[in-house]
Each structure stands twice: as C-alpha cells, then as structure tokens.
Amino acid sequence: MTKIEDLKARVRDISDAITAHVRTEPANNSLAGWGQFVEAASPVFQIGPYGTAAGIVVNQIAFPDSQVDGRVKTQLRHFWDMRPAGKMFPQNVRLAFTVLALGRTKDPELQVLSSEIVATLVERQLSDGSWGDAPPHPTSPAGGRTDATAWTVLALRRHGGPRLAMEKGAAWLADRAEHFGDAQLLSTIGLAGAIAGHANAHSVAGLRAHGFEVIARATVNREELISFFDYEEQSEGKQIQSRDYLCYPAFYPLAVLAAALAEGAGPFELIRLDAFRANAIEKMISLSNGSPYKAPSARFSSTVDQAMYALAYEELAASGSGKVRGTIARIYKRSRRSIFVQLILPIVGLFALAAAIAYPTSVVSSLRPVLGNWEPILANFVENQKAAIQVFAGLAATLLFATPKSGRQILWDRLRGLRRDQ
C-alpha cells in the first residue's frame, strides 16, 4: 500500500466514525446531521450547517459512490430554507463552506442546493470582485474581506464555477498584495485563493514565487488557524451586529497551495512540490491513528477539522506524489548502463559546463521552461556571481572529465563517507 493509499484509509476511518455519530433531531426524526464536534455528548449536542456539510464531504471523499442519508439532505435543505432567519444565510463564509463541501457531489438534490447557494454568493459579489463577511448593509463593515473572498473563491473552484466570479475574486486578492507591495500581507488561505483561482499562472508570478517560499518553510502539524466574520442578525426583533469564526487546520490551505502551484509549474518546481507532498502525506498519516483528527489540547474532534483533513487529502492526491522524482528514478535505473548515460550524457554535460563558463546568464535564460518563476531570480543571482560560477564550472569540468575514473571513484567514496559521518 502506498503512502497516499494509507492516507485515504485514514480518511475512510474518519468517515466511519462520523457515520457512527450521526445525530437525529430530537423534535423531528426526519432530520439528521452533525454539530460542532464528532463524538461530543449532551449538552454539546446540536446539529448545525457547518457540521452537517462537513460530514457530507468527508463521506463523499472517502466513499465517492456512497448514498447520502435522506435525513441529512433534508436537514441541510432545512437550514437553507430558513432564510433570511438563522445564522447560515447572513454569513458568506457559511455559504461558501457549504458549497465547498457539496462541490463535487453526485447527488442531484445536493447539486441543486449547491447551485442555489452559488447563485446567492454571485449576487453578493462586490463590484471590485471581492466578498464581504455578509451581504452589504449600512452597519456592516464596508468593502471586501480577504478571508471571506478566499473561502468563496476556493468554494467556487471546487464547485466548478462560475469561472468569471472566481477569477474576479482571485484577482482582487492578488491586487491587494500588489497594491501594498507585499505578498506576505495575505494569509495562507488568501494566498491559496489568489493563486488557485487565477486562470493564468504567469499573471501572478510574484505571488507564486512567494507561494513556493511558504511551501519551502511549511511544516504539516496540528496548528489551527482562525477566520473571524462580522454579520447582522435578528435578536428579539432587533438587528444586531454579531461575530462568528471558523477554525481550521493550517495544512488545508497548504495542500491547496501546493496543488495550485503545480499548475503551470516547470519540472524543477514540480520536484520541489513532490517533496512537499511526500512529507505532507506522511505527516498527515501520523496525525490520525485511525480515529478522528483532533486539534492540540482539544477535548473533542471538530467536525470541520475532519472535512479539512479529507479535503487536504483530495488536493494532495489530485496530482499524485513524487510523480516527477519517481519517473526520473525509473528512467535512470533502466538506462544507467546504456550508451546514452555512459557516453552521450557526459558529453552533453561537458558542453553544458563549457556554456556555463562562457555564457552563464544565457544558460539560465534558456532554462526558463524548466525553472518557471525562478528564472528571473536565478538570472539575477548568476549575473551578480558570474565570476565565481565560471570558476566553479571550470573546476567541476576538470574533476568530472580530466580526472581518471579511479580518481573520481575515490573522491566520490570519500564524499559519501563524510555524509555518513555527519
């Protein structure tokens, strides 16, 4: 069993636990769903839109051909039909999360429900492409909000559109970073939304470069992030200002970011992403021992966290793990004793080193399809360090091609010995 299959097995274990803890509405046994926590008993015994949508998406990812409990579908439809009352309708992020959960459902009833919610979100999109925390209201915060826009963009991405609304939202996120001249102003979920929602990878080259920096230093663990949202609701006949929040594991936006960066990436970038995916898959397996994923010091397992775990698996599995490195390794293993590797490849390497000595900047420019967004950064470095690179390339050519084979083998053995000592 491969690592990604091990991770899928963890998702299926979580799905089994969620199914075992489905809750029936005490006042109406035709309604069922989930609440904030998977295994919590009374008095934390409630059914809500977040929990019910989360339960649906975990089961759908774990068992794509499984049928959705009719009581659960009726419950989610009931939450939507309560509009404008209740907490679901006034909050854009609650709506976006529901669309994110139902985005790839095969159930006709849930597809209709998801499309209705998408239509409402598109109506609420502001003229600049962003979304606020809630529908425009005199007492609501003016203008778009980063996290609300990011969640909506990612929801539309999984739903499959409308593409224009998604791209306008992603462009607004990217423009915020460009306006302030600092991509670090975007949260990880904002960065993931900005890159994943853009149709043209080259139009967000700066953000993609920052995305690779984030991936390079990222660690998959139990870190939790939180998004806050302000909205209007009715209370005792009065319109009051309220605040809600969404807690989620940090590994979810990282998984989305890795999948988004893979689109339009060069081979060099794909190798880096494969390394991240392999590590992320291994870490996520260790975070769940066959039971629902639990945040640090949490008493119960958050239902939303289980959805994020399943969705992160989906992103990591979508484009495989280690695909590029595995292909290179297989090709080399089969052909390492061939005339190509023994004769032609060294000659090509010699010419490459000669070109690096004579024209180092031109060599980097010629590798643009391979280096992707790193080409201008590397070209600038090479221009500043041209003399040192020419000396190094000359030494490398001497060691590789002027030194007898026995001498090269002795040098290689000693280098391997130093690595083992370290």
Quickly state the pLDDT bin for 233 (edges 50, 70, 90).
Answer: confident
Assess whether 317 and 383 both reside in one domain. Answer: no
Question: In this predicted structure, what is the pLDDT of residue 202?
Answer: 73
Residue 367 shares a structural domain with residue 289: no
Calculate Rg over the CA atoms of the chain. Answer: 26
Q: Are 162 and 145 in contact (CB under 8 A)?
A: no
In this prediction, residue 70 carries a pLDDT of 96
In a domain, 240, yes or no: yes
Residue 395 belongs to domain spanning: 338-419
Is the pLDDT assigned to residue 300 strictly greater than 50? yes
Q: Are residues 323 and 377 in the same domain?
A: no
> Which residues on neighbouring strands pair with residue 245, listed in sequence order?
228
Q: Of 327, 350, 370, which closes a domain?
A: 327
Compute the distance between CA of residue 170 and CA of residue 311 in angstroms, rounded to an integer.
20
Sign of CA dihedral 104, 106, 112, 113: negative
What's the length of the chain? 422
Last residue of a domain, one of 274, 303, 327: 327
333 lies in a domain?
Answer: no
**How do residues 41-63 score in pLDDT, each as one tens digit?**
654 468 999 999 999 999 999 99
Shared domain for 344 and 314, answered yes or no, is no
Per-residue DSSP letters for 131-183?
--SSS--TTSPPS--HHHHHHHHHHHHHHT--HHHHHHHHHHHHHHHHHHT-G
HSE-CB at 341 with a 13 A cutoff on CA atoms is: 8
Distance CA 310, CA 17 (A): 13
| CATH number of the domain within which 207 lies | 1.50.10.20
Q: For residue 332, is it within any domain? A: no
Asked, for residue 55, whether it belongs to a domain, the answer is yes
Q: What is the pLDDT of residue 127?
A: 93
**Contact residues for 84 (Cβ-Cβ < 8 A; gap 6+):** 90
Do 290 and 395 share a domain, yes or no?
no
Report the number of distinct structural domains present in the chain.
2
Give the C-alpha separation, 323 to 270, whole Å. Answer: 9
Segment 162-198, tens digit of pLDDT: 999 999 999 999 998 776 555 567 889 999 999 999 8
Same-domain pairing of 108 and 220:
yes
- Structural domain contains residue 309: yes
Residue 46 and residue 34: Cα distance in Å, rounded?
A: 7
Could you tell me if 291 and 342 lie in one domain?
no
In this structure, the answer to whether residues 286 and 375 fall within a common structural domain is no
59 belongs to a structural domain: yes
Examine residue 64 and say whether the peptide bond preceding it is cis (omega within 30 degrees of 0).
Answer: no
Q: Do 362 and 286 lie in a common domain? A: no
Cβ distance 196 to 261 under 8 Å? no
The CA distances from residue 353 to 90, 185, 391, in Å, are 63, 41, 11
Tell me: do 24 and 106 sit in the same domain.
Answer: yes
Same domain, residue pair 290 and 408:
no
pLDDT, one tens digit per residue, over 347-397 is: 776 677 677 677 777 776 766 665 666 667 677 777 777 777 777 767 766
Give domain status of residue 315, yes or no: yes
Distance, in Å, from the CA atom of 23 to the CA atom of 36, rounded to the nearest integer, reads 12
Q: Which are the contacts of 132, defined by CB distance < 8 A and separation ≥ 6?
A: 92, 124, 126, 140, 141, 142, 143, 144, 145, 148
C-alpha–C-alpha distance, residues 248 and 230, integer Å: 18
Q: Are 227 and 245 in contact (CB under 8 A)?
A: yes
Say whether both 349 and 322 belong to one domain: no
Residue ending a domain, choose from 306, 327, 348: 327
pLDDT tens per residue across span 91-129: 999 999 999 999 999 999 999 999 999 999 999 999 999
Q: What local confidence, expressed as pLDDT, does residue 38 receive?
A: 92
Beta bridge partners of 23: 33
Residues 6+ apart with CB under 8 A from 288: 10, 13, 14, 309
